Amino acid sequence: MNSLNLPFSIVGLLAFIYLLYIFATLSRRLGAITKMKSYYRRFYVAMGLVAVAIITAMTRQPDSESNLVLHIIAYYLPLTLAGIISLDAAYRYWGWLFRDQERMQ
C-alpha cells in the first residue's frame, strides 16, 4: 500500500465499521420485534476484525517476503472473515426481503 493511499484506506475501513454498526443496530431492533436469535452480535465481531485490519494497515508496510505473508494474514484474512460473517448475519435478518421479492414475481 502506498503511503499516499493509506489515509483513504483507513477512512474506507472506518466507513465499513460504521456501516456494520448501522446494520447491527437495525438488525437488533428487527430481531427484538420478530423474536429472533441474537445474530446481530456477529456484526460486532466483524467490526473487531475490521479494526484488526486497520491496526495492521497503520503499522509499517512489509519489506520482505516473510513480512508480506504476515501482512496478508493480518490484513486481508480479517477483512475476508468480516465480510463473510456480516453477509451471513445480514442474510439471516434481511433475507426475507429477497424471498418475498421472488414470490411477488
Indicate the number of domains in the chain: 1
Contact (Cβ atoms closer than 8 angstroms) between residue 63 and residue 95: no
What's the average pLDDT block by block, 10 residues per block, for the chain (105 residues)? 73 94 92 85 95 87 74 90 94 82 69
Interior angle at CA 18, CA 99 and CA 39, nearest 5: 45
Domain that holds residue 51: 6-104
Within 8 A by CB and 6+ apart from 37, the residues are 31
Contact (Cβ atoms closer than 8 angstroms) between residue 1 and residue 57: yes
Q: pTM for the full model?
A: 0.83
Q: Quick count: other Cβ atoms within 10 Å of Cβ 11?
A: 10
- Classify residue 1: in a domain, yes or no: no
The x, y and z cell numbers of residue 25, run together, are 443496530
